[in-house]
Each structure stands twice: as C-alpha cells, then as structure tokens.
Homo-oligomer: A and B are copies of this chain.
Amino acid sequence: MQKLVDRIERDANYLGKGIIKMDSFLNHQVDIELAEQMAEEFCMRFSGLPAVTKVITVETSGIPVAVFVARQLGVPMLFARKSKSLLMQENYYTAETVSRTRQTKTGLYISGEYLTVNDDVLFIDDFLATGQSSIALMDIIKQSGAKVHGLGYIIEKPQEGGRQKLAHFGVQIESLAAVTWQDDELKISFG
C-alpha cells in the first residue's frame, strides 16, 4: 500500500534487532485517516472471504484499524486482552505468547461469551514478525470452535518467518507493507 510505504519511509525509526518505531502514526499516536485507508485496503483484499461475523485484534495498536474494518463489514470488533481482568471470571480461552517490545511472556485472553462455534473471524493486527502472537490467537480461536478466514497485518517482517509458520492454517494472509533490514538500514516494500 503506497501511502503506508511512504509513511514508513518518512517517519519510522529503526532501533536495531528488528525493532521499528512507528509511534508517530501507528503504535502510540495514531493517524486516523491512514488507519481508515488501511482498513479499506484490508476490506478490498479480503472481499472474497465468506461472510465475517467478527473482527478480532490484540490490544492495543491493532485496535484503530480493526475498528474501521469492523465498521465497514458491519460486525463487532473483539480485542484479545494481554492480561486477565477481574471481569473475566470463568469461561475464557487463553494461550501464551511473547511480547517483542517488552521481552516478557504474555497470555492472550478472549471471553467464551463473545467467541463461539458460530463465528467467522477476520483477524487484524499491527505486525507479522515471528508469528508467535498469531499462533497463540489461532489456538484461542480453535478452542472456541470459531473459524478464521483471514489474517491481515499492517506490517510484515519477512525475515522473521511468520508467514511460513502460519501457512499450514490454510487461510488468506495479507500484509500492507513489508519491512526488512540489513545492518542499520531499513528497506520498505509492498506487502
């Protein structure tokens, strides 16, 4: 997606070790117009999917784009929590992943009340890197009996091999931009 590639080229900072700072438009401050345009791009790319009943993301940075995707599809948005709130007392699904930017193990949690065997899911997230977080999410969705039809990522880091690890799920995978690096240099291309 050209607008996203341009924005990454202009505003992203490469901090080393595969960590790219996009806090000015994606991960802290959010460019709302860009978020809406990215959602339109996702909806176009996923237009061949069976009818989706729920858009799922993981808190926090995927939420704005997931909100606009859900709006366009006319379905609720559900965000997986990274910690279990006191309100999640029973009937929840969980799986473990690792936070890249915090270097800690994190559980993902979704309440069984809002994800059931009748749901058809489109998953939207900010990054596809090692795929660990998506695999945890797929595990949760499998526990619920719901079906996943598409995995959409704003930015993919192909060097980290996530797409290969997700291939066996047999679902459509889309990313809007791909970012690779060598030494201290970042290369940005279309996803």
Q: Please give the residue numbers on chain A whose beta carbons come within 8 Å of chain B beta carbons, in ascending order.
A: 15, 19, 21, 23-25, 27-33, 35-36, 54, 59-60, 63-64, 67-68, 70-71, 75-79, 81, 83, 85-88, 101-103, 110-111, 113-114
Q: Let me know if B101 and A28 touch, CB within 8 A.
A: no
When distances are taken between beta carbons in the complex, the residues of chain B under 8 Å from A31 are 76
Distance from A126 Cβ to chain B, minimum over Cβ atoms (Å): 13
When distances are taken between beta carbons in the complex, the residues of chain B under 8 Å from A103 are 86
Q: How far is it, in angstroms, between the C-alpha of A54 and the C-alpha of B33 when the chains are bound?
A: 14
Q: Let me know if B111 and A28 touch, CB within 8 A.
A: yes
- A78 with B30, Cβ < 8 A, contacts A15-B87, A21-B87, A102-B83 known: yes
What is the total number of copies of this protein in its complex? 2
Q: CB-nearest residue of chain B relative to A55?
A: B32
Distance from A109 Cβ to chain B, minimum over Cβ atoms (Å): 9
Residue in B21, B28, B79, B114 whose beta carbon sits within 8 Å of that of A81 in the complex: B28
Q: Let me know if B23 and A77 touch, CB within 8 A.
A: no
Distance from A58 Cβ to chain B, minimum over Cβ atoms (Å): 10
- A114 with B28, Cβ < 8 A, contacts A59-B60, A86-B101, A102-B86 known: yes
Q: Let me know if A28 and B79 touch, CB within 8 A.
A: yes
Q: How far is it, in angstroms, between the C-alpha of A127 and the C-alpha of B62 when the chains are bound?
A: 22
Residue in B23, B79, B114 whose beta carbon sits within 8 Å of that of A87 in the complex: B23
Provide 19 A-B residue pairs closer than 8 Å at the C-beta atoms, listed in order of the A residue.
A19-B86, A19-B87, A21-B87, A23-B88, A24-B114, A28-B78, A28-B81, A28-B88, A29-B54, A29-B78, A29-B111, A29-B114, A30-B67, A32-B67, A60-B63, A64-B67, A64-B77, A83-B102, A86-B103
When distances are taken between beta carbons in the complex, the residues of chain B under 8 Å from A23 are 87-88, 111, 113-114
